[in-house]
Chains A and B, each alone.
Chain A
Amino acid sequence: MHNVVIVGAGPAGLSAAIAAAAAGAPVLLIDNNPRLGGQYWRLASDAVGEQGGQHYDLATGLMLINAVKARKEITVLSGAQIWSATHKDGINTLRVIQNGVEKIINTANLVLCTGAYDRTLPFPGWDIPGVMTPGGLQSLLKGHGVLAGKRVVVAGSGPFLLPVAAGVIKAGGEVVELLEANKSNRWLLSPFVMLENIAKLKEAFYYIKTISQAKVRDRFSSAVVAAYKNSEGILESVDVAKISRNFKIKKVRNVKCDVAAVGWGFTADTSIAGALGCSQIVAKDGGVVVKTDENQQSSIAGIFVAGEITGIGGAELSMAEGVIAGISAAQFVGCKVEVLKAHRKRRAKKQRFADALIKSYPVKAGWITWLNEQTLICRCEEVSTQDLKQAISELGATDSRTAKLLTRCGMGLCQGRICGRSVVDLVASELNISPTDTDRISAANRPIISPIPLGVLAAGE
């Protein structure tokens, strides 16, 4: 029997590995982190020690991690970076670098669980050291036991801001402000879904309790719209604005802080799926995700996808999808096993909750008005709003791809992972048109999954 090859060891990947192994399939689990768990259950090293209060449901994570370690059918490849993925005649070829050595893996079946990263929006000063993503701030706490600063502003939109703010407080930091760009009562838009997922509300209240006990100033319809540095070049303060429903600035005040963690939900990391040729679609939040069928199979037979790369939905939806993907992959390699009705029901329930959240925390077009001519859009290539506008007004670019080629916007080391989505929105706004799905999907695709030193390639050939 062939291996089930799984990429990513977060909630989806761990669940898929256990499901496939339980069905009797040998599993190869490839992950780029040093320890299993993904971003959600990011664990600290033994020396750093577990960080109290940084995880809401570590027990589930440890249960899955220990089950993966205990199963002899599962081989784990940790600290392994996939830099290239190709699909030809039914065979997927992954080029993986582990400890500086390249391994080539050929497999007819694959389960991709590559997760997501924070969605960011550009604003004046967002490149100053001290401005970071909420996910980055949390990963420092969970994985390294380091609090990024003493006075922290947490801002942006979405429920993820709550655990991040609570984490700062638990680690002994001060949350100076907690700012949600949308209105407070938006989750009431989907009352039945909320009641159906009452456990998720309990989780939210757990964070809110910590936040309110610390007497944090929390504000809705508010956002960080500019950041300023001191003479050394380090973050000193941010402008906090009261914003309209459409995110237009109404009133601004300045707040001193040494960290501003600003995030707008998540962007799926579809790099590997895209490189293999799996069809991608644009989700309701404007993000690009991998298209799946009811068995978590992508448009390519034998390639299954689960978790955030199929649509942002959180750890529980990822686990539900992971189980189905693991079973489907085991079936694909010849195991006698079936996806049960209960599996599909669980996934549907979590999906309804994910859809409700996306409806509750939209990112409105008014953020574009926060930019000035000098604001960097592409951090890697240092391309400003003005550069991008010139490419359109003077050089005649009429789509984001051309604007990108003219300005190098999105052509730096991160390959547009950070600015790609914003560039599409900005170019469309400048041309007074709506971005097409083709624009969005093209901005989400990149030829190389992760840049690697040429020396490694030379040694591997």
Chain B
Amino acid sequence: MSQSNLEFTFEGQKITAISGQSVGAALLAANQRILRKTRFNENERGLFCGIGVCFDCLVVVDGVGNQRACLIEVKSGMRVQRQVGSDA
């Protein structure tokens, strides 16, 4: 079976992942389900379509906002944060 072989941070907290996993998948595996808060109502959002269509899983990766967690592959040492509002 597969092994965790990468480490990155989410909101400053260490998360382990497997090479080839998306940020969204690795976060879900770590039971991190809230990926962002919306611009107007500040509602929680997470993975929805899972394949890059809906743009609901937007996170900030190494300071760059509007990244789709479902598409972006985890890299060792990545700093991922929840996106609050429209951008970082």
Contacts and interface: CB of A to CB of B under 8 A. Distances in A.
A128 B46 CA distance: 7
A65 interface: no
B25 A414 contact: no
A32 B53 CA distance: 12
A289 to B, nearest CB: 17
Given A46-B20, A146-B25, A234-B33, A129 B50 contact: no
Contact of A140 (B18, B28, B35): B28
A47 B2 contact: yes
Contact of B29 (A120, A146, A229, A412): A146
Given A39-B51, A382-B39, A417-B54, A130 B25 contact: no
A411 to B, nearest CB: 12
A135 B45 contact: no
A135 B51 contact: yes
Interface in B30-51: 33-35, 38-41, 43-51
A263 to B, nearest CB: 10
Interface in A296-351: none
Nearest to A417: B53
Contacts of B39: 382
Nearest to A43: B20
A132 B47 contact: yes
Contact of A44 (B3, B20, B33, B58): B20
A133 interface: yes
Contacts of A269: 53
Interface centre among B19, B21, B38 (most CB of A within 10 A): B21
Contacts of B51: 39, 117, 135-136, 139
Given A34-B73, A46-B20, A412 B55 contact: yes
A136 B19 contact: no
A318 to B, nearest CB: 16
B13 interface: no
Contacts of A32: 52
Interface string B40-77: 11011111111111111010000010100010010000
B19 A117 contact: no
A382 B1 contact: no
Contacts of A453: 64, 66
Contacts of B29: 144, 146
The A interface is mostly helix, strand or loop, or mixed, namely: loop
Contact of A131 (B3, B41, B48, B58): B48
Interface in A427-455: 451, 453
Contacts of A31: none
Contacts of B48: 127, 131-133, 136, 379, 418
Given A140-B47, A144-B25, A146-B25, A129 B54 contact: no
B20 A45 contact: yes
B54 A418 contact: yes
B55 A136 contact: no
B81 interface: no
Nearest to B64: A453
Contact of A48 (B2, B44, B55): B2
Contact of A127 (B5, B22, B45, B49): B45
A417 B48 CA distance: 13
A252 B65 CA distance: 40
Nearest to A415: B55
B46 A137 contact: no
Contact of B34 (A143, A146, A234): A234
A148 interface: yes
Nearest to A380: B55
Contact of A143 (B1, B19, B25): B25
Interface centre among A48, A131, A232 (most CB of B within 10 A): A48
Given A131-B48, A413-B58, 16 more contacts: A44-B20, A48-B18, A129-B33, A129-B34, A130-B33, A133-B50, A136-B50, A144-B18, A144-B29, A148-B47, A232-B34, A233-B34, A379-B48, A379-B54, A414-B53, A414-B54
28 contacts: A34-B20, A34-B73, A39-B51, A45-B18, A46-B20, A48-B18, A48-B21, A117-B51, A117-B53, A127-B48, A128-B44, A129-B44, A129-B46, A132-B46, A136-B47, A136-B48, A137-B50, A140-B25, A140-B28, A144-B20, A144-B22, A148-B28, A233-B43, A234-B34, A235-B33, A379-B56, A382-B41, A417-B53
Listed from nearest, the 5 A-B pairs whose CB atoms lie closest are A45-B20, A136-B50, A129-B46, A144-B25, A233-B44
